[in-house]
Amino acid sequence: MGGKQSRTGLRKKLAAYIPVHTTFISQVLQGHADLSLEQGEAVNSFLERARTNKPYFISFKKYHPV
């Protein structure tokens, strides 16, 4: 990934997609907040994970919250 500006742009796009505030995305990335299952699924969709990986991601998030 590029510099700080491209990371900030990605956070802004992700926040708009979920939708949550960009501050919340930063808190999650720093380990100070957790995604809900619904938000985790939205992140999964945003990142365009392979269809076969999606159930594993949701199952992991459900049983292993950060």
Q: What is the pLDDT of residue 65?
A: 63
Q: What is the mean pLDDT of residues 1-21?
A: 78
Residues 29-46 pLDDT 10s: 899 999 999 999 899 888
2 and 11 Cβ atoms separated by less than 8 Å: no
Per-residue b/e over 29-54, b at no fewer than 16 CB within 10 Å?
A: eeeeeebeeebbbbbbeeeeeeeeee
10 and 24 Cβ atoms separated by less than 8 Å: no
Q: What is the mean pLDDT of residues 43-65?
A: 67
27 and 9 Cβ atoms separated by less than 8 Å: no
Q: Is the pTM of this model over 0.85?
A: no
